[in-house]
């Protein structure tokens, strides 16, 4: 570990490796940086990017930006809830999907937008959003993570 790296950078490394920040890693970073675990936890919970629990196999980021709001992002959230049974910050029981609401994905002209595993899907309708997650679920053969 590079001791000159900041706490934010170290947390980003951990999350890139694990997909989330396990509790042990918070203690490890605190010990190596010589600060309290509370300070590291404070940083980890301040930023929306950091997750403290294991995400599902597929990460859905649903944009709740202004343009998406005006073009009914709430309707997409309701459709995903209907299809997957999860709301913002939740993971489906089969471990296949985690849904997160994000402030803006910067694809406002294609609103409403969601990003799944880094791929953006635009001009969504409730039906289209359901179809996209269904296709991903089918391609996963229904197997959990």
Partner 1 sequence: MLRIVVGMGSCGVAAGAGRVKEALERAGTKPGITGCVGACYLEPIVDLYEGAELKRRLVKVAPEDAPAIAAAAESGDLAGVERLAISAEDEEFLSRQTRIALRHCGVIDPESLDAYRAADGYKALEKVLGMTPEAVIEEIKVSGLAGRGGAGFPTWFKWNAARNAKGDEKYLICNADEGDPGAFMDRAVIESDPHSLIEGMLIAAYAIGAKEAFVYVRAEYPLAIVRLEKALGDARAAGILGKNVLGSGFSCDIRIKAGAGAFVCGEETALIESLEGSRGMPRLKPPFPAEKGYLNKPSNINNVETFANVAWIILNGGAKFAAMGTENSKGTKVFALTGKIRRGGLVEIPMGLTLREVIFGIGGGIRDGKRFKAVQMGGPSGGCIPESLLDTRIDYRELGATGAIMGSGGMVVMDETTCMVNMAKFFLDFTARESCGKCVHCRIGTRRLHEILTRITEGKGREGDVELLEELCRGIKDGALCGLGQTAPNPVLTTIRYFRDEYDAHIRERRCPAGECAALRKFKIDPAKCKGCGACARKCPVKAIAGESKKPYAIDPAKCIGCGSCEAACRFGAVAKA
* Angle value at C-alpha 145, between 137 and 113, nearest 5 degrees: 45
30 scored as a contact of partner 1 (CB under 8 A): no
- Give how far the C-alpha of residue 56 lies from the chain's centroid of Cα atoms, to the nearest Å: 9
18 scored as a contact of partner 1 (CB under 8 A): no
# chain residues binding partner 1, by CB under 8 A: 43
Nearer to partner 1, 21 or 96 (CB): 21
Nearer to partner 1, 49 or 143 (CB): 49
Query: Sign of torsion, CA 22 89 98 117?
Result: negative
Least distance to partner 1, CB of residue 91, Å: 19
CA contacts within 13 A on the Cβ side of 129: 28
Least distance to partner 1, CB of residue 76, Å: 12
């Amino acid at each position: 570990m590079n001791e000159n790296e900041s706490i934010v950078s170290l947390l980003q490394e951990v999350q890139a490796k694990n997909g989330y920040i396990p509790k042990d890693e918070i203690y490890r970073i605190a010990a190596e940086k010589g600060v309290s675990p509370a300070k590291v936890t404070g940083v980890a919970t301040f930023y929306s990017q950091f997750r403290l629990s294991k995400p599902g196999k597929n990460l859905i980021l649903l944009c709740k930006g202004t343009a998406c709001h005006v073009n009914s992002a709430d309707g997409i959230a309701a459709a995903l809830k209907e299809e997957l049974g999860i709301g913002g910050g939740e993971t489906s029981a089969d471990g296949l999907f985690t849904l997160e609401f994000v402030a803006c994905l910067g694809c406002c002209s294609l609103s409403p937008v969601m990003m799944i595993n880094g791929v953006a899907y635009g001009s969504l309708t409730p039906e289209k959003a359901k179809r996209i997650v269904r296709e991903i679920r089918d391609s996963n053969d229904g197997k959990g993570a």
